[in-house]
Structure 1
């Protein structure tokens, strides 16, 4: 399944972090090669990035045009001489070849060639490219900063470096930073650390690539004008916070600073079972018994009186109770139920006894009365 060109472009931009000026197919041949190899090539800044095809987002090789010492050109060929090698570039046709020559010559000579057979729109595009490169290589001086407010002024004995360290700054070396990123990827992807050279710094990050996670290290040099990030095109920023922000913006905030949380985020269920009786008795505390008898308190007259009778559980005096018959007394619900159950049980016993008696009588009568077969024999005789 092919990847959308916009997605490929965004991935390449996040990896190279350089503006794209021109792209197309080029054939490249170095001294060690016997034949030309075809690549999809992008001119980003002053560097040529060579990809296997237009669907790949990770470049295979790159060529910095600022390292070119001399150059020879023809209709469809360019020969670039470097310090240690010679690179030959071949274009597919004269139209694309003229545009490639225009961009490459402009980067190498820092000016637009006078003899170019390009359309006005192509020349305007080339002029915009040259102006952008000049502004990038010769940045405008920054305006002076406003005075620092009193509540932000540093106290005695403190330095600006201590006040401006980002939260992902750790005093570790390269190996330790790599181990931290690999062991705990959930904490973040970027670590800023001190460099082994003078007052410089270094940045170690963990980035996902098509072949898996990759660790990259970048050098940050301290200068009088600020901190310089050593990339293909150097970038100057005012502080370490700006260094962190630069890398986060170039990766579209897919990378996060490495921060170790001091709070727990996972709760394990308790392994103690209150119903477990296997706990040894030695672990329980022996509570000593009281040696003094409790104080006996005299009961008051209200406490001596019996509790009031529950009115819901008492029958009222029946209607047949009269002053002439004082023996009729209230009966509780339990007594009435007990009497009713006794009468019901007696009725069941009487019914069962009567049925048993009738069954016995029928059995006796059957034994005394001769059967039908005997009666028939007697009649035949």
Structure 2
């Protein structure tokens, strides 16, 4: 009794847990095999599941297309001839054969789209088929967004061709992500140099990440202790669209090169450590030389002009330094201060000057009023003022 195709489809979706993009009959074989074997294939995500027929709910084989390096058409596209594709993976090389060339073109379009996350530029498909292919691409991008990976480092000098193409100079304002995301044990050395460094300085570490001789690939060199002694091992790390693939017996894909290093550290139980050359330290403190004397030809120092301040009266300074005068008792005779004669003399001179000015003004006014009475009036007035001045001086003394 045949099983309902809807039930089979639901079981396959449960087992794989991946969305179905394309399915159909095809033939598959390894390059060393002679004959093709018939399968029913389902492209779910970036994995091709192969079943013996369309009623089987458990797959027989699967191909991880994330490890796909190339997909080549063995013969030109022709309407009446079968289409054979050669898929080169990291660990194997297989061939897929489709009897219908139009179906083969659809398989090629879907496989390259889910692997490269973009629709190939040259496809001989109808508009409706292209629309379905675009929907599959959008779904795959939502399910598995592209991983931001550090750019590959520049190729070592010994791996560059004789006439390399000039590479664009990076902008100065952009940070170098290759330096920021690269493990500290990455060194631009060859396999021989890495092995020599690990042997010469085992105290620095035992793992070196380096460029591979193959383009867009890396290699991991480590020095490991075994029962036979220390041995050198080299592992290849390939760059793919989904990350970095560690090419072991069972290939492993990780997101970054730091994850590659972390995987090896965990697998060796942290008995191996990344190679980091120690930086030298100074052990002596040297005294800096004394500064040299200023030469004669050195520019002369600027002379700042002194501020000009108005002179202060001596009497004001003395008044500030003297204590406040004490109030004399009633009926007591006050003797003038002998130590302040200059102050009284100044006041007397000022008073004398004022009196003389008053006399001069008075004389001028009298001469203007009456020329005859000028001598008569001036003489007693001047005599009276002179007597007043003399009396004032005697009182002050």
- TM, length-normalised to structure 1: 0.35
- TM, length-normalised to structure 2: 0.34
Larger gyration radius, structure 1 or structure 2: 2
